[in-house]
Structure 1
Amino acid sequence: MSFTFFEGIPFAKPPTGERRFSKPEAFGSFEGGSLRAIAPGSACPQMIANAYKLGNEDCLFLNIYTPNATGSLAVMVFIHGGGYYQGASHFWDPSVMVAQGEVVVITFNYRIGALGFMSTGDDKLPGNYGLWDQKLAIEWVKDNIEDYGGDPDRITLFGQSSGAISVMFQMFSSANDNSLFQRALLQSGSALLSTNIVQDPKQLHQQVISSLGCKIDSELKKCLQSKSMEEIQVASWFNFVFMNSLVVVDNDFLYHDVLAILDAFTQQGDSAYTRELVGNFGSYDLFSGWNDQEGMFILGVLPLIDSSFNNVSEGFSEEMLFKALQYFPFTNQGFVSRSKSASFVNDLLMQYYANKHDNTMNNPTTAKKERLRRFIELLGDEVFILPTIQHLQLHSAISDKNTFAYEFKQLLNRPPDSLTWLRTGADHADEGLFVFGFRNKMPGFSYTYNEEEKELSDKMILHWTNFAKTGNPSPTDYMKFSHPETPSYTQLKTGSLEKLSCPFCEKEKVLSAITFALAHNREQNLAATMPDQIKSENKTEALYHDSLSIGKLTLSEPQAIRTLQVLLGVVVIVTVLCLVLIIILIHSRRTANRPSKRVIGKFQLEEKERLS
């Protein structure tokens, strides 16, 4: 199929000068009435590693990829990931998805890092500018996409990692009318993790502000506006604290911390109060999932924090494990001291995860590798999988819309390296390659796929675009979830699968107990009751479901995700991984001026030319 793409369309005025650290302003009409939209606009300012600078402040552009087909097509708006400090719209090329799925796809930039999220937690520097950028881009799509063959009443937001978290924040925000978009597709990201909201933004950004020679007073914004983009980039990079989110409860876009939401859902279930906290969350169809080795992302982050993690090919010593635990979410809850919680979680890590790997921790020759393997598994479970299960439970309980889940398990065909022994499945963000048909344009990245992987990619594109078109990823109702007590999900990988069980049920019980204890400072009580339960054999009855093989892709018999009951009694009152849900004063929608239809894009006559 032939298609047209329009790249580099401005949706907001440049956020420079007095517009820096402010909400975005709609761009308006084009000078001269037309625009040659034939190349992506600049990425927003960021640093790749600690030296390579990328982007420009004049960066609020979007790209439209549309099939040359008749009719009003489903629209998919992609929010890129990158931890709110890296990423750009043109890193992912949706050409394959557009050509095969016959949907209109939009990608866009939003401000990231300090320029997009620096905050003091008050009106001096309220923060969340990047989320407001996202909102304005979605509004632009709603108002204009009909001119490009899209249906403004069939808009799906989809995102990966922090992009998925952003989609959830857009779902929660009452600043958004619930007709702005209709569906949400979340890849490896959930807002229901307490560290996705900055608890003390003033403390987090104090060092950056001071290093720029500014003070937290009434002149702060003017002082920061007087600094160069490069000065802010360098100061924020070298003072950046990894695994701290940059999003804040600003009482404008977001009103509630995630802890309040999870506490309400845990204690009251589908109550009026829970629904009030989550805003429009239940108004959208939801398709969400995770990769089975999400925790592998840490191997790229730790060396940026501490050079002692530059080489972990032999695994973790006890000292390295203890040090690593101090950097990540168990210890960033703000309820207990870092050293105390690191020691506590280390005990649970050894006790619970030891059950799955025989007694290799007792063997000095395997202990270091096993220690790293368990840490990777625990981190992936706690940061990605458990929060995703929780938001699926929440949505399934409060919504009459569709709820779907998937797990991506495909091991990439990488050349062997020093960590091949550790890789058994899909790393964080690996699914994006398949969703976009291997059209990744990340700097320095390349991948050669095989025929089996291409087949899996084609099937995933089919399910992703079917969801955008109908609210159901399956061509039939086969994958439709009802709301039974037993959870099921769709597993994505090449080859045929055996019957599926519920591998996350036992994890959820343990991790919920850990996070509840940390949040409510009940370590001693939990430590007294958990070991026997953790060390015992897994008595949870496996939940098997019929499966259907579609070529190389096997799908579980769908049964809706509903609250997985936490079976650890009182101790397991369920997670303090809460979500910052947002009830916002309804703002009058800011509508970008409709651009001239004389936006000139590039026309592709042959699919091969673009996809080869």
Structure 2
Amino acid sequence: MTDDPSRRKVLRNSGVLAGAALITGLPGGRAAQAAPRADEPPPVAEPPAGRLLGSEEGGLCVFKGVPYAAPPTGALRWRPAQPHPGWQGTRDATAFGPSAPQPYREGGDQVLGTHGSPPFDEDCLTLNVWTPAADGAKRPVMVWIHGGGFISGSGSVPGYSGETFARDGDLVVVTVNYRLGPLGYLYFGEDGAGGNFWLTDQLAALRWVRDNIAAFGGDPDDITLAGQSGGAFSVAALAGARPKGRPLFRRAILQSPPLGLQIPTRAESLRRTATYMDILGVGNVTELRAVPWPRLIAATYEMFGRTGRWGYWSTPFLPVLDGVTLDRDPADLLLSGAGADIEVLIGWTREEANFAFALSGPYAAATKDQVLSRVRDTFGNRADEAYTAYEEARPGARPVDVLMDLITDDLFRMPALALAERRAARGRPVWAYQFNLPTPAHGGQLGAAHCLELPFVFDNFDKWSQAPFLAGLAPRVRDGLAGTMHAAWISFIRTGDPNHHPMPRWDRYDQDSRTTMALDSVTTAVDDLAGYWRRLHRQAAP
């Protein structure tokens, strides 16, 4: 667990014990839900896209596997998302659609478990809706974009169920599938065409929500777009979209956005595509379109080996600055134009990089010289000073601990803070948090790792039984912090402000106090929580 110097400061606000936190004062609270009548017919929604038959689940109306774009198959593989042709009569929406093709291993990994589960299919552009009622109530809407390192994940993962948010917050919740890995992120530069097919999918889904969500009891003018990791990166990338002069969403929640990624240029992306085609033994995109998708996904494993760099989070497929779908760093899109007026909640976990590196045998054996070489990439000739600072901040630190804290700062914390700083300087609304509660799983090696805040945000630990990183958490502390966070997210979605009783006052991040909410067994608001590290990185060599 990192002993961050800023954590030893006098806290400005009194803490609230996580075990004492409750969801209070919110509409649609769980205790207020009446049991559904057994003789009620299944719910039906009649959006402009077409009539849908849903199901009743726990007192909510749920519509699953709803297509929002044409299947990206055949000639539409590696093409921007196209409108769905629609359907006649009533479409059954009682089962999830297939997840996007992705690497899969039975049983998952030893940290998160599964990221996305079968069935998989290229015909995957569907979304799911949870609503208290398919009526005209105009409820606030939350659209969730899953993460997964740009290669995995699904809107049907049990942990992303919209049930708790819809019930506890009287919200309409939408989860989305979009193209992943080679099918979503390869770039070909054909005749000046763009790439980022994943982004065109998400834009199509947002347009669908804007045009159809009223039929599910949602307000198309009160949409919060939320996501974690690669999904949070997506939220930022979508901030600049303003089709027909109307913003697609009003608020943004960015959980652990990897804004420190160096997004490839067109030329760099073409070289990465060439590497991928070499693995498959094809010479052009026409030949590649004839390759069955299971072979495309299988080639991902070798891409890890060919594109990975020691000391960096491995990402074999990346977005591209293609000048068509994405022409700026996504963080910049939240500073001007359509993104400037979006209300932003942004945060990170204290030991993000432990997710990928803490349980790695090869990295556990890293030497100081190896890590110093990586530190020089960030700090140049100040690498020795920076190494010492990180080493002293974590008593008994091994070289790998220094490396993990550096990667956490490089990829997540410092870029998120920089965005908060820049928005604050422009007087734009932004709230910041740091998730600090460590997990005892794997002997405590993971700390407060990447993804650990997810079940707390959704407050649905029963849906995360497959996640090894939750083992050993004390139920009272776990459930209390989840209640606090879940209520704060609901408050932000409903009002644009995360404050709620009995949480300590959570002020906007500004240039005077730099308030950051420290989410832990005791939740507290801290002034300039990461100030020491922010100043250290500000002086880093370019």
TM over 0.5: yes
Structure 1 equivalent of residue 499 of structure 2: 474
Counterparts of 1:173 and 1:496, CA distance in 2:
35
Q: Decide which of 460, 463, 468 is 2:485's aligned counterpart.
A: 460
Q: CA deviation at 1:175?
A: 5.6
Counterparts of 1:432-581 in structure 2, within 5 Å, are: 432-439=454-461, 444-445=466-467, 447=470, 450-475=475-500, 478-481=505-508, 483-495=510-522, 497=524, 500-514=526-540, 517-518=541-542
Counterparts of 1:51 and 1:471, CA distance in 2:
39
1:224 matched to 2:288? The reply is: yes
SS in 2 for 1:138: helix
Counterparts of 1:75 and 1:128, CA distance in 2:
25
1:59 matched to 2:115? The reply is: no
Deviations 1:262-297 (A, max 9, x none): xxxxxxxxxxxx99x843221211111111111212
Counterparts of 2:317 and 2:416, CA distance in 1:
17
Q: CA deviation at 1:396?
A: 2.3
Counterparts of 1:411-426 in structure 2, within 5 Å, are: 411-414=438-441, 417=442, 419-420=443-444, 422-423=445-446, 425-426=447-448
Does the C-alpha gap of structure 1 residues 222 and 177 become closer, same or farther in structure 2, counting only changes over 3 Å? Answer: farther
Counterparts of 1:329-408 in structure 2, within 5 Å, are: 331=377, 347-357=384-394, 369-400=397-428, 402-408=429-435
The one-letter code of the counterpart of 2:435 is: F
- Is residue 516–residue 527 contact of structure 2 (8 Å, CA) maintained in 1? no
The one-letter code of the counterpart of 1:462 is: A
The one-letter code of the counterpart of 2:536 is: V
1:96 matched to 2:164? The reply is: yes
Q: Which has the higher contact order (CA 8 A, sep 6+)?
A: 1
SS in 1 for 2:526: coil
Deviations 1:575-598 (A, max 9, x none): xxxxxxxxxxxxxxxxxxxxxxxx
Deviations 1:384-435 (A, max 9, x none): 00010111122223354x2211111112353xx3x52x44x42111111111
Counterparts of 1:120 and 1:248, CA distance in 2:
11
Counterparts of 1:121 and 1:392, CA distance in 2:
34
Question: Which sections of structure 2, spanning at least 5 residues, go unmatched?
Answer: 1-32, 34-58, 109-116, 308-313
Structure 2 equivalent of residue 284 of structure 1: 342
The one-letter code of the counterpart of 1:65 is: W
Does the C-alpha gap of structure 1 residues 403 and 66 become closer, same or farther in structure 2, counting only changes over 3 Å? Answer: same
SS in 2 for 1:247: coil
The one-letter code of the counterpart of 1:451 is: R
- Is residue 322–residue 343 contact of structure 1 (8 Å, CA) maintained in 2? no
Structure 2 equivalent of residue 582 of structure 1: none
Deviations 1:286-341 (A, max 9, x none): 111111111212327x95xxx734xx3xx633365368x39xxx75xxxxxxxxx7
Equivalenced residues, count: 459
Q: Decide which of 132, 139, 144 is 1:78's aligned counterpart.
A: 144
The one-letter code of the counterpart of 2:454 is: G
Q: CA deviation at 1:96?
A: 1.6
- Is residue 133–residue 216 contact of structure 2 (8 Å, CA) maintained in 1? no
RMSD: 3.1
The one-letter code of the counterpart of 1:506 is: Y
SS in 2 for 1:223: helix
Does the C-alpha gap of structure 1 residues 180 and 174 become closer, same or farther in structure 2, counting only changes over 3 Å? Answer: closer
Counterparts of 2:223 and 2:523, CA distance in 1:
33
- Is residue 165–residue 189 contact of structure 1 (8 Å, CA) maintained in 2? yes
Of stretches 235-244 and 464-473 in structure 1, the one that deviates more from structure 2 is: 235-244
- Is residue 230–residue 257 contact of structure 2 (8 Å, CA) maintained in 1? yes
SS in 1 for 2:499: coil
1:16 matched to 2:41? The reply is: no
Counterparts of 2:357 and 2:398, CA distance in 1:
15
Deviations 1:124-166 (A, max 9, x none): 7732000110010011111111111111111000000110010
Does the C-alpha gap of structure 1 residues 133 and 177 become closer, same or farther in structure 2, counting only changes over 3 Å? Answer: farther
Does the C-alpha gap of structure 1 residues 110 and 478 become closer, same or farther in structure 2, counting only changes over 3 Å? Answer: same
Q: CA deviation at 1:48?
A: 3.0
Deviations 1:513-557 (A, max 9, x none): 32xx23xxxxxxxxxxxxxxxxxxxxxxxxxxxxxxxxxxxxxxx
Question: Which sections of structure 1, spanning at least 5 residues, go unmatched?
Answer: 262-273, 332-340, 359-365, 519-612
Does the C-alpha gap of structure 1 residues 48 and 342 become closer, same or farther in structure 2, counting only changes over 3 Å? Answer: farther
- Is residue 59–residue 109 contact of structure 1 (8 Å, CA) maintained in 2? yes
Does the C-alpha gap of structure 1 residues 154 and 139 become closer, same or farther in structure 2, counting only changes over 3 Å? Answer: same
Structure 2 equivalent of residue 530 of structure 1: none
Structure 1 equivalent of residue 368 of structure 2: 318
- Is residue 178–residue 283 contact of structure 1 (8 Å, CA) maintained in 2? no
Deviations 1:321-366 (A, max 9, x none): 368x39xxx75xxxxxxxxx798575344233244356xxxxxxx5
SS in 2 for 1:186: strand
Structure 2 equivalent of residue 211 of structure 1: 279
SS in 2 for 1:500: strand
Counterparts of 2:357 and 2:192, CA distance in 1:
37
SS in 1 for 2:103: strand
Structure 2 equivalent of residue 251 of structure 1: 323
Counterparts of 1:299 and 1:35, CA distance in 2:
45
Counterparts of 1:482 and 1:288, CA distance in 2:
10
The one-letter code of the counterpart of 1:29 is: G
- Is residue 420–residue 509 contact of structure 2 (8 Å, CA) maintained in 1? no
Structure 1 equivalent of residue 262 of structure 2: 195
Structure 2 equivalent of residue 579 of structure 1: none
Q: CA deviation at 1:3?
A: 1.0
Counterparts of 2:523 and 2:320, CA distance in 1:
44
- Is residue 60–residue 131 contact of structure 2 (8 Å, CA) maintained in 1? yes
Does the C-alpha gap of structure 1 residues 107 and 376 become closer, same or farther in structure 2, counting only changes over 3 Å? Answer: same
Structure 2 equivalent of residue 523 of structure 1: none
Counterparts of 1:490 and 1:395, CA distance in 2:
17
SS in 2 for 1:252: coil
Aligned identity (percent) is: 27
1:34 matched to 2:93? The reply is: no
Counterparts of 1:109-128 in structure 2, within 5 Å, are: 109-121=177-189, 123=191, 126-128=194-196
Does the C-alpha gap of structure 1 residues 115 and 345 become closer, same or farther in structure 2, counting only changes over 3 Å? Answer: farther
Deviations 1:19-76 (A, max 9, x none): 000011121322x321111111111010036999952101111000111397221100
Q: Decide which of 147, 160, 170 is 2:228's aligned counterpart.
A: 160
Of stretches 446-455 and 93-102 in structure 1, the one that deviates more from structure 2 is: 446-455
Counterparts of 1:37 and 1:403, CA distance in 2:
37
Deviations 1:245-275 (A, max 9, x none): 611112211123479x5xxxxxxxxxxxx99
- Is residue 287–residue 405 contact of structure 1 (8 Å, CA) maintained in 2? yes
State the TM-score, normalizing by the size of structure 2: 0.77
Counterparts of 1:177 and 1:119, CA distance in 2:
28
Counterparts of 2:416 and 2:486, CA distance in 1:
21
- Is residue 178–residue 198 contact of structure 2 (8 Å, CA) maintained in 1? yes
